[in-house]
Structure 1
Amino acid sequence: MAQFSLDDIRAAADAKYGSTDIALDDKTTVVLRNPLRLSKAERDELAALQDNLDGDSDKDQADVLADAIRLVAKDKKVAEKLIDNIDGDLALLAQVFETYSSGTQAGEA
C-alpha cells in the first residue's frame, strides 16, 4: 500500500490546481487563484460575475472582467496594477480572463 504525506498531497494539488500567473514586469507578478482554491463565497461571486458575461446583462463587460480579476487575484493591489496597465482595453481584459479560464478548466467540475 502506498503512503502519502499531506505535503505530497498538497504538492499534487498545487501542480494540478495551480494559479495563473501574469508577469507585469521583472518584479511584479499577478497571481490569479484557481477557482478550487477560492472560498465558497468567492466561487459564488465568480459564478455570478461569469453570468454577467453572457450578454444578457446591462453591466459594462470591462467592469465585470476587472471585478473578476480583482476577485481571483491573490494580491488585490497587484491586481489593480494589472487593471491599470490594461487601461480599459476590453480585448485585453477578455484575453486575460480567457487565459485564466482556459488554465482552470481541468480543475472545474
Structure 2
Amino acid sequence: MASFSLDDIRNAAEARYGSTDIELGDETVRLLNPLRLPKDTRTKLSQLQDDMGGEDADQEELLSEAIRLVAEHATAADKLLKAVGGDLAVLAEIFDRYGKGAQVGEASASAA
C-alpha cells in the first residue's frame, strides 16, 4: 500500500495544476489554474468563455476581464493589462497559453 504526505500531494497538485506565469519586467504575473479559483470565479470564467463566441462580443473586453478573474492579484492583472495596452493579438495569445496550461484543470473542474 502506498503512503503519501499532504506535502507530496500538494507538490503533485502544483506540478499538475500550477499557474501560468508571465514575466513582466522584474515581476511575474501568475494566472491561476481554474481548479485553484473559488467556485464562483470558475463559473464567471466559464460564462466569459461562452460569451467570447457571441457575434457582438467585445473580445478585448472579455479577454481583459478573464485575465482579471484568473490573475493572482488585482494589481498584477492591472499591470499586465496596462503593459499589453489593449493589443487584442497579445491578449488572445496570453489567454491561449493560459488555456493550454489549464486544459487538464478545466476538464476536471467541469466534473466538479
What is the root-mean-square deviation in Å for CA atoms of aligned residues? Answer: 1.0
Query: What is the CA-CA distance between 1:75 and the residue it aligns to?
Result: 1.2
1:5-84 correspondence to structure 2 within 5 Å: 5-26=5-26, 28-56=27-55, 58-84=56-82
Measure how far apart 1:89 and its partner are. Answer: 0.7
The code of the aligned residue for 2:79 comes to K
Q: String of CA shifts for 1:46-82, please: whole Å, max 9, x gaps.
A: 00110111133x3411010000000000011011011
The residue type paired with residue 37 of structure 2 is: L
**Percent of aligned pairs with the same amino acid:** 57
Give the unaligned 5+ runs of structure 2.
108-112
In structure 1, distance between residues paired with 2:74 and 2:42: 16
Structure 1 gaps of 5+ residues are none
Q: How far apart are 1:106 and its partner, in Å?
A: 2.1
Q: Structure 1: which 4+ aligned runs deviate by more than 2 Å?
A: none
Letter in 2 for 1:52: D
TM-score by length of 1: 0.93
SS of the equivalent of 1:50 reads: helix
- 1:7-51 CA deviation, whole Å, 9 max, x = no partner? 11111000000000000012x111000001111100000001101
Q: Using the alignment, how far apart are the partners of 2:71 and 2:99 within structure 1?
A: 13
- Paired with 2:68 and 2:24, the residues of 1 have a C-alpha distance of 15
Aligned amino acid, residue 34 of structure 1:
N
Q: Would you say how many aligned residue pairs link Structure 1 and Structure 2?
A: 107
> Is the partner of 1:80 in helix, strand or coil?
helix
